[in-house]
Amino acid sequence: MLICAVMLFSCAATDQPSPNGTDDTTASNPAETGPAVDGSLVAVTTANNEATLADLSFFFNGIYSSDKAQYKSYLSMLGLDTSKSLKEQAYGTGTWFDYYLNAGLLQMKSNLLFAEYAKANGIEMSPEEEEEERKYMEDVRALVDSQGITMDAFLKSYYGSLVDESVFEKCHALQVIALKAYGEYTASLNYTDEMYEEGYVKYRGEIDCIDYYRYTVSSNVPEDATEEEAEAIKSALKEDLEKLSGAGSLEEFEKAFAEEIKKRYTGDDELTEEKIRSEMSSYLMEGSDLSNLVNLGFSEGEEIVAGKSAITENYNQYTLVYVVSDPKRDESDTVSMRYILLTPAVYQTEEEANQKAEDIIAEYSSGEKTGESFGKLAKQYSEDTYTRDSGGLTENLRKTDITDAEVVEWLFDDTRKEGDTAVLQCSSGLLIARFEGESGPAWKNSLKSLMQADDYLAELDRLAEEFEYTENADVIAQFYA
């Protein structure tokens, strides 16, 4: 749902505060477990490691605090009030506390077992990585100090009362080595074309895309209308949409749709055929995920083919969906990039931002000019909290994933080659971009993620058996106290 419940390591970097100085480190209210809990009690063991209730609090509250920071409005839509106790709010067959506890346990399990994987396979941190870890800790302490609070107070505000500096350092170090081990594990996974075809048969319902028209129109009932008048207006509108819905072919639908647009046009200039086609195209959703049609009048699991339609009502609005294509593979080309975002909030003038961008480009050009060296600069300078900890890396982008025309034009230029850099204007500010290369058709990237998830879960089960993963249910039960 909200958390990386399978690929847990992909969100490891977001489970702690950023040292870049843009986060409000005092804003979090962790989901407390109660004053009677002994954080030193061992909750989980493996062959060479153990984790306490304090460690569990780190993962539990790390995920919860991260979710609140990134998805606050979305959480409320799901029925979670972050100002209230998680234990008092139902979610599924349990509570939101159960949900986050299970997520924390799973993430802790993943990190413990991939730390074991690292030890067994001789995977260690390089001197450069150890220096980065030391620098990260220094930056966190400096950020906390700049907020005028103690490190202990900050950690408890973010991870709960059980977490002190030693727990924070231990768990963060565990995440770093586990993430490296996980990266080497996933790099070892290779899939043949035959395996992709077999995977597509299994997962096509989850990765297929579809083209459809989505047309929403308001009934515009006057405030002084009587109940009968309002009902008559709504009925007439719904009747118009039902005529569209009943089209026997795409050609028939588009002809009727053009008439619908003419009927509701309110502009002063001439409504030419070109404008009508342009207006129609604005309602065409191309290459959309098949799952997007759920809650638009179609049921989960319903067979959806070209020519199917549905009408939904929401207050004084009606939405018509007319399916244009059968479900299909998304053959869209994808690319990968790294970027550094500079925003107007930090750089007050365009000249100041451009100068900073030039300075960063110069710093990059004076070095090795690799993706890794660019990534280090992204961690240092980028204001995008979602990508900076991964070195600004964003993979498998389709044209439709990007809203800024200048960025799309640059990324998908036929002459673009790996290592190209540019400073681009985007809606959020200035983007210093590095082209990482083409990354294949969209459907194959989506399928690869699902296949990796399957392999990851199987590997996690194997590691749990090999390294004797054991949960102490009686101790974990005290976490509820």
Residue 414 sits in a domain whose CATH number is 3.10.50.40
The CATH number linked to 284 is 3.10.50
Q: Domain boundary at 323, 358, 386, which?
A: 323
What is the predicted pLDDT for the residue at 77? 82
What is the predicted pLDDT for the residue at 388? 86
Q: Specify the long-range contacts of residues 475-479, CB closer than 8 Å, at least 24 apart.
A: 475/41, 475/42, 475/43, 475/53, 476/43, 476/44, 476/53, 476/56, 476/105, 478/37, 478/38, 478/41, 478/53, 479/33, 479/37, 479/43, 479/53, 479/56, 479/57, 479/60, 479/101
* CA nearest neighbour of 212 among 169, 176, 178, 244: 244
Look at residue 467 and tell me if it is in a domain. Answer: no
Q: Domain boundary at 296, 323, 350, which?
A: 323
**Joined tokens for residue 257:** 């749709």
Look at residue 456 and tell me if it is in a domain. Answer: no
**Is the entire prediction scored with pTM above 0.85?**
no
CA 37 – CA 398 distance, rounded (Å) = 48
Same domain, 175 and 59: yes
Same domain, 131 and 234: no
CA 159 – CA 143 distance, rounded (Å) = 16
Look at residue 465 and tell me if it is in a domain. Answer: no
Q: Domain boundary at 323, 358, 389, which?
A: 323
CA 381 – CA 384 distance, rounded (Å) = 9
Look at residue 370 and tell me if it is in a domain. Answer: yes
Q: Quick check: helix, strand or coil at residue 280?
A: helix
**Joined tokens for residue 410:** 């640059």
Same domain, 279 and 383: no
- Four-point Cα dihedral 301, 400, 451, 375, nearest 10: -150
Q: Look up the domain containing 184 and give its range.
A: 8-188
CA 394 – CA 334 distance, rounded (Å) = 11
Q: Looking at 299-428, which runs of residues are DSSP E strands?
A: 309-314, 317-323, 333-342, 393-397, 421-426
What is the predicted pLDDT for the residue at 259? 92
Same domain, 24 and 172: yes
Same domain, 338 and 319: no
CB atoms within 10 A of CB 387: 20
For residue 78, count CB atoms less than 10 angstroms from its CB and return exposed for 0-12, middle for 13-18, buried for 19 or more. exposed
Same domain, 153 and 13: yes
Q: What are the backbone dihedrals phi and psi of residue 198, each rounded to the nearest 5 degrees, phi first?
A: -65, -40
- Paired with 435 in beta bridges are 337
Domain count, the chain: 3
Look at residue 103 and tell me if it is in a domain. Answer: yes
Same domain, 306 and 179: no
Look at residue 460 and tell me if it is in a domain. Answer: no
- Mean pLDDT in order along the chain per 10 residues (481 residues): 38 44 48 74 97 96 88 83 91 93 96 98 93 88 90 91 94 94 94 96 92 91 87 89 92 94 84 92 91 84 91 88 95 96 88 94 95 94 88 93 94 96 94 96 95 96 98 93 70
Same domain, 151 and 225: no
What is the predicted pLDDT for the residue at 397? 95
Query: Which residues neighbour 159 within 8 Å (Cβ) at sequence distance 6 or greater?
Result: 30, 57, 58, 61, 62, 65, 167, 168
Same domain, 53 and 144: yes
Same domain, 319 and 405: no
Look at residue 342 and tell me if it is in a domain. Answer: yes
Q: Quick check: helix, strand or coil at residue 313?
A: strand
CA 259 – CA 20 distance, rounded (Å) = 55
Tell me the DSSP string of 452-466. Answer: HHHHHHHHHHHHHHH
Same domain, 337 and 429: yes
What is the predicted pLDDT for the residue at 227? 87
Q: Quick check: helix, strand or coil at residue 256?
A: helix
**Joined tokens for residue 38:** 């002994």
In contact, 423 and 432? CB cutoff 8 Å = yes
Same domain, 158 and 242: no
What is the predicted pLDDT for the residue at 476? 95
Look at residue 201 and tell me if it is in a domain. Answer: no
For residue 136, count CB atoms less than 10 angstroms from its CB and return exposed for 0-12, middle for 13-18, buried for 19 or more. middle
